[in-house]
Amino acid sequence: MPSLEIFNWHTILMHFAIAFLLVSSILFFFMLRYKKNKQPIEVISKYIFLVGTLFALLATGAWFSIPVVMPVNGVDSASILSYERLGSITVVVAVLFSILIWISTHVRPSHVLGSWIVSILGVVVGIQGTQLSYANVADLQPVAVGHAGEPLFAPGVDEKDNTIPTVAAGTDSALEFVRVFQSAMHTEKFEFVSGAFDNEAIIFENGIKEPSLNAYLLTHLKPEMAVLAAAKRQVIYQNSSENNAKALVTTTSILTFSVKGKQHDFNSVETLGLIKKEGHWMIEHAHWSSRPVQK
């Protein structure tokens, strides 16, 4: 199922969840206000809240089944991560509250307050999701060329500027693409780096497989990019082999970090397996390993 279709299902399920949670909260409120014949309303409210919680669980499952969520069109990775965290918290609270009201003999005012808290959290998450949706972050297909129309990143261009590097489609070699990718990695150009990976890319660091591309980009690479930008990088050896739409590029370099005035040198080896799709190189396998330089 394409990523965009999954996102659409996530959006639909999320809206259903919010609607059911709000309706149940309103019914809980009227149940307390009007004492007569409140038992049927109480039962109906419980069932509606449970259905809303189930929709929230399905929406969460749909979101996390998307291969990778790219920060595009002005949406940064922090917004995506905030949406995921608040959404996860809301679902957990909704599940716990559903259990609470079902094991309780009667719905109390404190339960009504809890249902409104869950509903308000759901509305806030929905607003965040709508903002991401209108920013087109839903079209989660990585592209290797960054933003259209932006200039080629080439030797002589200031590596600390704010442009995102891009390589002309159909004209770049695998080695040229990797060199631009490496420059982006070490100059905090996260959007280009994110877009360089294939949806199904497999990532290893020091022999350990990353749980998913999305987890690697947002929880591992993003926080480390400032460290990489501060490091001095010296390429020792680089080799590239291409065969039609496949390529393998290996790079050996020395990374130098300064921590509290003390210099630390590491031997770094990077292996990138690339595939060409619609004229664009994309990384389908990456393995980084490093060890301290023996002095």
Domain for residue 150, yes or no?
Answer: no
The parent domain of residue 89 ranges over: 3-134
Q: 213 and 124: one domain?
A: no
Task: Please check whether residue 37 is in contact with residue 186, taking contact to mean a CB–CB distance below 8 angstroms.
Answer: no
Q: 205 and 285: one domain?
A: yes
Q: 103 and 195: one domain?
A: no
Collect all residues with Cβ–Cβ distance below 8 Å to 171 and sequence separation of at least 6.
none
Domain for residue 152, yes or no?
Answer: no
- pLDDT confidence of residue 5: 58
Tell me the C-alpha to C-alpha distance, in Å, between residue 155 and each of 152, 165, 236, 294. Answer: 10, 11, 18, 32
Q: What is the pTM of this model?
A: 0.46
Q: Is the pLDDT of residue 172 over 80?
A: no
Domain for residue 146, yes or no?
Answer: no
Domain for residue 151, yes or no?
Answer: no
Domain for residue 160, yes or no?
Answer: no
Q: How many structural domains does the chain have?
A: 2
147 DSSP assignment: S
Q: 225 and 285: one domain?
A: yes
Domain for residue 119, yes or no?
Answer: yes
Residue, of 149 and 289, whose pLDDT is higher: 289
235 beta partners? 253
Please say which residue of 134, 151, 183 terminates a domain: 134
Domain for residue 49, yes or no?
Answer: yes
pLDDT (mean) for 25-50: 78
Torsion of CA 88, 93, 98, 102, to 10 degrees: 150
Q: 120 and 180: one domain?
A: no
- pLDDT confidence of residue 203: 92
Look up the CATH number of the domain holding residue 200. 3.10.450.50
275 beta partners? 246, 282
Q: How far apart are CA 186 and CA 192, in angstroms?
A: 12
pLDDT (mean) for 127-144: 52
Domain for residue 167, yes or no?
Answer: no
Helix (H, G, I), strand (E, B) or coil at 161: coil
pLDDT (mean) for 172-201: 88
Residue, of 122 and 112, whose pLDDT is higher: 122
- pLDDT tens track for 77-107: 566 777 888 888 989 988 988 888 888 777 7
